[in-house]
Every structure is written in structure tokens, then in C-alpha cells.
Amino acid sequence: MSGTSSADSRTDRDSIGEIDLPADALYGPQTQRAVTNFPLRGQRRLGDFPLFVDALVAVKGAAATANGAQGHLDRDISEAIIAAGDAVRSGAHYDEFPIHHLHGGGGTSANMNANEVLANLASSALGGERGAWHPVHPLRHVNLHQSTNDVVPTASRIAASWAWDACAQDVEGLEEAIAHAIQRFGGIPRLARTCLQDAAAMTFGDLLGGYLSLVKRFRRRIDHAVTESLEVSLGGALVGRAADVPSGYQVMVVAALSSTTGIDGLRRTPDLPDGAQNPDALLEVASALDVAARSLLKIAKDLRLLASGPEFGFCEIRLEAVQPGSSALPAKVNPVIPEHVVQLAMKISALREMASAALEHGELDLNVWEMPMTAAVLEQFELLGSAAAALARCVGGASPDEGRNREHAGATLALLYEVSGREGYEAADNLAVENLGDLGLIRAEILRRHPDLAPPDAKLRD
């Protein structure tokens, strides 16, 4: 029951004792204890991960639906809890989730934060007072037939699915930007390089087409990992003992959750103890995001290298000038967008290591490190979306220096490679040896033998 109250504070009670908290707070004593126990110091609160909060209350709404339908909750209480969850998901109450997103107890504080907020909202709707836990109690009603140990893992996977829905739009935008660049200048010749050495004449379409295939491939990889992760343990309660919850509730709750969230692929794991022990499916998502990050990093570094110059670098593409590049050197313009992408990718990869550690630190019948893994994956999605959007802008503003690229495509080693295709490797190699490795002499001999290989600007270089 609620204790004393004043204009600014009220006193709530839990199993440990009484604790003061703001009078108008929707959360309760366990949330307040978590606020005290885990100081933020400028770091992210649970409410700063709105998709996870939405997922938590969606789980609670599904449980209320199943419990109401099975007769375990009065209809008015069930409907009030569902309505309270809808209010949170509308965005009105994220400030009521003030605890540190990384907290001890295997996510218990997150689960109780949701239980307390929904209980107070539901009670208020039914005429009760905040903190009185009547007519709706956070444990007896909101948490009925649940445990942190099936709620948090399930919410994690829902949040990841929603995060991918948002991120995928940015990834698709990058695909469109690359495809448009292929249309704009894909036919322009360029010099391919291996080990940063001249290799063979190709086109920008070949290079950009490789980028497009890479992005499409990692998008499919993430999509597969997210889909696989939607096998949830809701209904497993504490450690996955099926006997701990009514069978009717267990059968119905995941279907109710699918309806609540709009996620068609949700399904209950056939091995509930495994669901409590092993969050490896979420690590698969983190790993797919890591591969995506490293892929974008590679593309960003390529663009940065191709744009190096403006006189004595590669100077083969021009990137959009978006800001001055130096406080000391006039007229300098840096490739800041690719560099931004590289940094975002670095952090995505670092977060994958956090998720990996969370998996391997699980012990025996329960992995209590779901919150670090969840936070890592959700931030990875945020960063990947930002990186993809930034890179799309960069590609969209890029243009090649056609003359310089045509000149480079006619490099001597590229011509020698063509000779190898016509006369054989040994003949081409002998040509190089006979001319003492002198690129000028080699080039002259190539053009004497095969004048059709002369690029349009050959006379300028001879």
C-alpha cells in the first residue's frame, strides 16, 4: 500500500520497506530503488530505448489478453492493462522509465518498471490512486504468469524486429543511391587495382555493382537473423518449466503477442529451458550487423581513397563538399561523410563484442545478461541506419573525373594484362623483361604490336 504523501513526494512500500519517490510518478518503489542503485551519470535510460519499452508493454498487453481470455484476470483489469500499454506505446510516458539501461538482476528492474507503470495507469483508469496498487497490482495482475526471465528475452526480440524495420528503410535507400549512381556513370572506364597496384581496365559499373551486391547480401543476412530470433520463450516463466503456467495461457499468449505487435513470424520456442539459458539468436543478429558495418566501412574507405587529392592523390571521383576541411589550410575539403561512416561502423563492431560477451557469460539455467545484449543490438541498428543514410548521401553526391579515369584505365600494366590475354602470360612477361621493366618502353612496344589498345589520349602520354 502507499504510505504518506505530500505535494512533491509520496512514500511507497515494497518487500524491503518504504521508499520516497515523486508524488506524480507512475513508477513505484522497485523502479525508484533501481534509480538509486544504478546512477545514470549522463548515460541512457530505459526510456531512451523506446522500442524496447514498447516491446515490454506489448508483452504485458499480450499476457493480459491471454489471462483475461482464460479467466485468470477480471475483464476490466485485463482491458485496463492493455489500454495502459497502448498509452505508453503512444509515446506519452517514456520519461516514466528512468532506470539505467544496464542494471543488475537480469533485467528485473526493467520488468518491474513496466509492471509498476502499467499498474498505476490501469488503477488510475479504474478509480485507484498511484502507489496504492489497487485495483491493479504490478505483480498479481500485470506480471501474472510471467517472469523477468521470459519477459525480457521476448521483448528483446520484438524490439530488434521493430528496429530492423526502421533500419532496413535506410539500407534500401543506400541500395537505391548506388543503383542510381550506376545509371549515372556506371559506363565510365576506370582502372581496377589489386594490392593498390594497377591491374586492369574496368568500369565504375563493375565497382558499384559489387557494392550493390554486398549491401543486398548483408540486408538478406540481417533479415534472416532477425526472423530466426523471433522464436520466443514467453510462457516459460522462471526457468522454462511448462508446468509453472496454465497450458491455455501458454498456448494463447504468443498468438496474442503476434497480434499486438503485428509481427507475423513470432513463435514459441519448442524448448523453453533453452529459451531461458541461451540468447544466441540475438547474437546472430549482432553478428549480422557487424558484417554489415564492416561492409559499409569498406565502401566508405574506397570512396575516401578514390577521392584523395585534389592534385596528387587518386583524384578519380569528386565527393560533395559539405564543410570546410581545415582551420589552418585554406580551400581544403575533407571526405567527412565517409569518415563519419567509418566511425559509426567501428562502434557497431565494438557493440558486437559486447553482445558476444553477454552470451558467453551466461551460467547454468539462466542468462542474466540479456540487457547488455539488447542494448548493444538496438544501438547497432540505430548506428547502421545512420551509416547507411550518410553513405547514400555521399554516393548520391559523388561524380567521377571522366578524363582522369580514362587516362588511368590506359595504364601500362593494364595494357600488358590485355597483351597477356591475346598472346599468353609468358609472351607478355617476356615483353616486360626485354624492355628492362621500363614502363615507357613496355608501353611503346605494346602499342606498336596492338595499336587498337591505344586509349584516346595515347598521343598525350607518348
Query: Distance between CA 370 and CA 375 in Å, rounded?
Result: 8
Residue with cell 505487435: 261
Query: Distance between CA 115 and CA 56 in Å, rounded?
Result: 9
- Write out the catalytic residue numbers: 326
